[in-house]
């Protein structure tokens, strides 16, 4: 049987684009359909614009520090429209690069929604049906807003970058990394931020000690963090009015906000793709079930990235996409490695993490915990009270470093380097043998000599 293409990719995010390019470079005929903008969540409405907003929100503190260091520096008014215009110009540039790279690789692009019409067929929005030897689902995820609030004029993370003006006050609902990052960003831009989280502590899944450190820092910086608190009811007033949203919460309070942002998790973007109809098995919240090679229950259909709800990080999706194409079209069987994946939360300060948390490690084996908290030189001189936290989780049996957790400015940069050593199986003795780079914050990773606790 002849096919229109060897591979048809549904989804033009980072994972889908990488898979399409690698397959085309291996000599396959490839097509890709994207119903929105090329680049997906990360480039258009996630990692990239968010990190640029992180940079923008850090300047007030930098200017305060500059005065402490002797500079006659003053912060003027933040011009959100000017920043937003430049932000979207940058996103347009990046989208153009993604599109250009696909075209250079010989990939046919369909600017259309595509659904699965059979084990080896897809249907475009205009009704055209296209056949392919293999189909790859790379449609990512989407923000989730609880049904009872979905019809209200509240925001999701997708909407933050589109705001016409910054609100004077905002309620952020949620306690994951997206909620915490936007709380810090908007707080840094001068917005009065309140955050509700129904759990006992923010950043579930990260190391407990690090979570507490971030929470304390956020509150010290001016974020009103209400733990054990959830929304009961929201009333929305007329657009443009101050305190437009009246919010009643489980702590018995009624508060008013100019805007409400729900950052209550994300869901796999699999709805309406026709997957179940052709035999693809679906998991919790619509996650596409795959094996270690990203293959679904239908041998000709694979899936990668957030739509599979494995590790929802852009670099992981890219690795999965590359492994798929190398295996299927390059004749080099490979699998994406999901072990010891580092991550960073771009709060202020940042949280960098790789490996096991103290809690997870203790449930597996006896461990030694090496930890320190201190005022960094830069902050101490500037008169700031914020503290750095660094932590190593070490196996008592082997001495191997099982986890590393850092809360500090630039923790994302530090954890990337620490992750290399930990991925290679470095022991605490290896860390101890490494000469410190002085004076730096990171030197503390190799100067902690005695455990603070064991168990």
Residue 224 within a domain: yes
Within this chain, do residues 18 and 136 fall inside the same structural domain, yes or no?
yes
Within this chain, do residues 271 and 257 fall inside the same structural domain, yes or no?
no
For 363-375, b/e burial (b = at least 16 CB within 10 A) is eeeebbbbbeeee
Report residue 434 as tokens.
């490494």
* Phi, psi (deg, nearest 5) at residue 423: -65, -30
Instruction: Report the length, in residues, of the chain.
Output: 455
Residue 338 within a domain: no
Within this chain, do residues 358 and 412 fall inside the same structural domain, yes or no?
yes
Give the whole-angstrom CA distance, residue 325 versus residue 407.
Answer: 37
Residue 98 within a domain: yes
Residue 62 within a domain: yes
CATH number for the domain spanning 72: value is 3.50.50.60
Give the whole-angstrom CA distance, residue 420 versus residue 199.
Answer: 33
* Number of domains into which the chain is organized: 3
Radius of gyration of the chain (CA): 24
* Phi, psi (deg, nearest 5) at residue 189: -85, 5
CB neighbour class for 159 (10 Å; exposed up to 12, middle 13-18, buried from 19)? middle
Residue 335 within a domain: no
Within this chain, do residues 355 and 433 fall inside the same structural domain, yes or no?
yes
pLDDT one digit per residue (tens) for the chain, 455 residues: 799 999 999 999 999 999 999 999 999 999 999 999 999 999 999 999 999 999 999 999 999 999 999 999 999 999 999 999 999 999 999 999 999 999 999 999 999 999 999 999 999 999 999 999 999 999 999 999 999 999 999 999 999 999 999 999 999 999 999 999 999 999 999 999 999 999 999 999 999 999 999 999 999 999 999 999 999 999 999 988 889 999 999 999 999 999 999 999 999 999 999 999 999 999 999 999 999 999 999 999 999 999 999 999 999 999 999 999 999 999 999 999 999 999 999 999 999 999 999 999 999 999 999 999 999 999 999 999 999 999 999 999 999 999 999 999 999 999 999 999 999 999 999 999 999 999 999 999 999 999 999 98
Give the whole-angstrom CA distance, residue 436 versus residue 227.
Answer: 39
Give the whole-angstrom CA distance, residue 30 versus residue 13.
Answer: 15
Within this chain, do residues 29 and 96 fall inside the same structural domain, yes or no?
yes
Give the whole-angstrom CA distance, residue 19 versus residue 35.
Answer: 18
Give the whole-angstrom CA distance, residue 368 versus residue 399.
Answer: 9
What angle, 0 to 180 degrees and rounded to 10, lies between the N-to-C axes of helices 177-188 and 208-220?
20
Within this chain, do residues 259 and 276 fall inside the same structural domain, yes or no?
no
> Does a cis peptide bond (omega within 30 degrees of 0) precede residue 439?
yes
**0.85 surpassed by pTM:** yes
Q: Which of 328, 354, 371 is the last residue of a domain?
A: 328
Residue 67 within a domain: yes
CATH number for the domain spanning 440: value is 3.30.390.30
Within this chain, do residues 131 and 153 fall inside the same structural domain, yes or no?
no
Q: Which of 234, 249, 264 is the last residue of a domain?
A: 264
For residue 302, indicate whether it is catalytic: no
Within this chain, do residues 276 and 425 fall inside the same structural domain, yes or no?
no
Q: Which of 218, 238, 264 is the last residue of a domain?
A: 264
Q: Which of 134, 302, 338, 438 is catalytic?
A: 438
253: Cβ–Cβ under 8 A, 6 or more apart, which residues?
Answer: none
Structural domain span for residue 166 = 147-264
Within this chain, do residues 52 and 112 fall inside the same structural domain, yes or no?
yes
Give the whole-angstrom CA distance, residue 400 versus residue 19.
Answer: 35
Within this chain, do residues 136 and 284 fall inside the same structural domain, yes or no?
yes
């Amino acid at each position: 049987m002849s096919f229109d293409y060897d591979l048809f990719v549904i989804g033009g995010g980072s994972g889908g684009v990488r898979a399409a390019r690698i397959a085309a470079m291996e000599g396959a005929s490839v097509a890709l359909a994207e119903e929105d903008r090329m680049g997906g969540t990360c480039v258009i409405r996630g990692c990239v614009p968010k990190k640029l907003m992180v940079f923008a929100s850090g300047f007030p503190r930098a200017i305060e520090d500059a005065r402490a260091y002797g500079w006659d520096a003053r912060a003027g008014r933040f011009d959100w429209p000017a920043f937003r215009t430049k932000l979207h110009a940058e996103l347009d540039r990046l989208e153009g690069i993604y599109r250009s790279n696909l075209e250079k690789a010989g990939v046919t692009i369909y600017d259309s929604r595509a659904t699965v019409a059979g084990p080896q067929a897809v249907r475009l929005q205009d009704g055209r049906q296209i056949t392919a030897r293999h189909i790859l689902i790379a449609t990512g995820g989407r923000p989730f807003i609880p049904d009872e609030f979905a019809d209200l004029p509240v925001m999701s993370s997708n909407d933050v970058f589109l705001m016409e003006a910054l609100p004077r006050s905002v309620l952020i609902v949620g306690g994951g990394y997206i909620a915490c990052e936007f709380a810090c960003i908007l707080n840094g831009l001068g917005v009065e931020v309140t955050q509700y989280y129904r759990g006992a502590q923010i950043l579930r899944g990260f190391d407990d000690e690090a979570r507490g450190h971030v929470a304390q820092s956020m509150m010290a910086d001016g974020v009103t963090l209400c733990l054990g608190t959830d929304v009961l009811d929201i009333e929305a007033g007329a657009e443009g009015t101050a305190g437009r949203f009246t919010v009643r919460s489980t702590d018995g309070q009624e508060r008013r906000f100019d805007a409400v942002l729900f950052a209550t998790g994300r869901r796999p973007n699999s709805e309406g793709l026709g997957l179940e109809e052709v035999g693809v098995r679906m998991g919790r919240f619509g996650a596409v079930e795959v094996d270690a090679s990203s293959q679904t229950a239908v041998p000709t259909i694979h899936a990668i990235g957030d739509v599979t709800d494995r590790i929802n990080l852009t670099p992981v999706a890219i690795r999965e996409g590359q492994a798929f194409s190398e295996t299927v079209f390059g004749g080099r069987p490979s699998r994406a490695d999901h072990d010891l994946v580092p991550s960073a939360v771009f709060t202020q300060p940042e949280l960098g993490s790789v490996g096991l948390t103290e809690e997870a490690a203790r449930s597996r084996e006896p461990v030694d915990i090496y930890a320190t908290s201190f005022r960094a030189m830069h902050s101490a001189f500037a008169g700031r009270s914020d503290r750095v936290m660094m932590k190593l989780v070490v196996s008592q049996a082997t001495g191997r470093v099982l986890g590393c957790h850092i809360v500090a400015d630039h923790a994302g940069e530090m954890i990337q380097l620490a992750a290399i050593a930990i991925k290679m199986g470095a022991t605490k003795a290896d860390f101890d043998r490494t000469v410190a780079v002085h004076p730096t914050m990171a030197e503390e990773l190799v100067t902690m000599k005695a455990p603070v606790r064991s168990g």
